[in-house]
């Protein structure tokens, strides 16, 4: 099963005719994902990669193809429009890959998401994948994934691949992997994804990779402490980052004590989470936990 995606997921790619959109739409399709439609305003009527119809609007795409997941690649100035267009068309699950959306746009979009029956993953995220369902809605390299029973959740892209790579190289498969995004304001929090994993019968444990900035990791720790049934191991990266400097991600910036790696690690430890000692130990830490619970 896994979370968010399954074999019924029908993917629509917003910005499918752009450089990034077309590259990744093909990669998703190559992985086995059911990419049913693309949207680029003004390019309706074209056909992408032999068999994917392109529409002028999400509304038309949904009507014609029953798409139920939207994957967004449009440039930052148009991203808020793309997200709200998918919400308007009643798409229940959206992953927005776009990096660099103005934060004031995201404040408004997030308020709108809050009053809409939609789950938004991202923006500025690698997306999500369910290896067993052959469903990849994002930019991760599909080949490194292995179907299995470990859930992975992270803020960022390549570090998630690093985690998955370590797991797969030890023969440990993943039920799903979700990158929630590196921006200060995103659609879905760590705690929400942890809850999905906790409720998923095909996930045995979770690998959770946080970073400096904000206090979302503390909120996740709070959730784990009070609700989480399954074991979690966690890594917080950015211990070496100086305060006040944005470390690539718009959200990865230490602006106070709670934003530091120490504070986050302490909160997670307090919640009973196994701390991954170094980025090199993600796979082995998970392996130890799996050995204990099996």
Partner 1 sequence: MKLHEYQAKEIFSRYGILVPNSKVAYTDEEARDITNKMGGRAAVKAQVHAGGRGKAGGVKICQTPEEAYTFAKSILGKYLVTPQTDNQGVPVNSLLIEELAEIESEIYIAITIDRDARSTVMITSPAGGSDIEEVANATPEIIFSEPIEPVLGLMPFQTRRMTRQLGIEGSAARDIAKLMISLYQIYLDNDCSLLEINPLIITKDQKVVALDAKLDIEDDALFRHKDLQDLRDRSQEDQLEASASDQDIAYVNLDGDTGCLVNGAGLAMATLDVANAAGAAPANFLDVGGGATDEKVAEAVSIILSDPKVKRVLVNVFGGILRCDVAARGTVLAYKRNNCTLPLIVRMLGTNLEEGKEILRNSGLNVIFADTLTEAAKAISES
Q: Does 107 bind its own copies (CB under 8 A)?
A: no
CA distance linking residue 97 with residue 44, whole number of Å? 22
Phi and psi torsions of 293, nearest 5°: -80, -15
Q: Does 199 bind its own copies (CB under 8 A)?
A: no
CA distance linking residue 200 with residue 14, whole number of Å? 29
CA distance linking residue 262 with residue 283, whole number of Å? 22
Whole-number minimum distance, CB 111 to its own copies, in Å?
A: 8
- Please give the full DSSP string across 225-248, using - where no structure is assigned: HHT--S-EEEEEE-TTPPTT---S
90: left (phi over 0), alpha (psi -120 to 50) or beta: left
Q: Does 115 bind its own copies (CB under 8 A)?
A: yes
Phi and psi torsions of 174, nearest 5°: -115, 135
Whole-number minimum distance, CB 4 to partner 1, in Å?
A: 20
Q: Does 159 bind partner 1 (CB under 8 A)?
A: yes
Sheet of strand 127-130: strand arrangement? 135-138, 127-130, 174-179, 147-154, 205-211, 232-237, 274-275
Which of 11, 28, 62, 216 binds partner 1 (CB under 8 A)? It is 216
Q: Does 114 bind its own copies (CB under 8 A)?
A: yes
Residues in region 270-289 near partner 1 by CB under 8 A: 278-280
Part in contact with its own copies (CB under 8 A); list of ranges 33-41, 47-55, 107-115, 258-266: 107-115
Q: Does 32 bind partner 1 (CB under 8 A)?
A: no
112 included as an active-site residue: no
Q: CB-wise, 114 or 270, nearer to its own copies?
A: 114
Q: Does 56 bind partner 1 (CB under 8 A)?
A: yes
Q: Please work out the total of residues on this chain that contact its own copies, with binding judged by CB under 8 A.
A: 3
Helical spans, DSSP H, in 32-102: 58-65, 76-88
Q: Please work out the total of residues on this chain that contact partner 1, with binding judged by CB under 8 A.
A: 73
Which of 1, 215, 230, 266 binds partner 1 (CB under 8 A)? It is 215
Whole-number minimum distance, CB 255 to partner 1, in Å?
A: 8
Residues in a beta bridge with 52: 48
Whole-number minimum distance, CB 271 to partner 1, in Å?
A: 18
Q: Does 68 bind partner 1 (CB under 8 A)?
A: no
11-14 and 69-72: which strand pairing? parallel
Q: Does 117 bind its own copies (CB under 8 A)?
A: no
CA distance linking residue 33 with residue 15, whole number of Å? 17
Residues in region 130-189 near its own copies by CB under 8 A: none
By annotation, the residues acting in catalysis are 249
Binding region for its own copies (CB under 8 A):
111, 114-115
């Amino acid at each position: 099963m896994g979370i968010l995606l399954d074999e019924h997921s029908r993917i629509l790619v917003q910005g499918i005719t752009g450089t990034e959109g077309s590259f990744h739409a093909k990669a998703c399709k190559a992985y086995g994902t059911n990419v049913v439609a693309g949207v680029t305003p003004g390019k309706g009527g074209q056909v992408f990669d032999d068999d994917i119809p392109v529409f002028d609007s999400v509304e038309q795409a949904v009507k014609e193809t029953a798409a139920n997941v939207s994957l967004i690649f449009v440039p930052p100035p148009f991203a808020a429009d793309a997200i709200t267009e998918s919400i308007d068309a009643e798409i229940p699950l959206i992953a927005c890959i776009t990096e660099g959306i103005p934060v004031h746009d995201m404040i408004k979009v997030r308020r709108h998401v809050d009053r809409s029956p939609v789950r938004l993953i991202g923006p500025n995220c690698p997306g999500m994948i369910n290896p067993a369902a052959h469903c990849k809605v994002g930019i991760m390299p599909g080949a490194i994934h292995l179907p299995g029973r470990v859930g992975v959740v992270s803020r960022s892209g390549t570090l998630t691949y690093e985690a998955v790579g370590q797991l797969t190289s030890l023969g440990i498969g993943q039920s799903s992997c979700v990158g929630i995004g590196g921006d200060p304001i995103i659609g879905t929090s760590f705690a929400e994804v942890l809850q999905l994993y906790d409720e998923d019968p095909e996930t045995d444990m979770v690998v959770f990779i946080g970073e400096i900035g904000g206090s979302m990791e503390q909120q996740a720790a709070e959730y784990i402490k009070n609700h989480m049934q399954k074991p979690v191991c966690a890594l917080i990266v950015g211990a070496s980052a100086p305060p006040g400097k944005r470390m690539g991600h718009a959200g990865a910036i230490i602006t106070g004590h709670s934003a530091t790696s120490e504070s986050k690690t302490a909160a997670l430890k307090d919640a009973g989470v196994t701390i991954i000692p170094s980025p090199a130990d993600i796979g082995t830490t998970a392996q130890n936990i799996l050995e204990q619970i099996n």
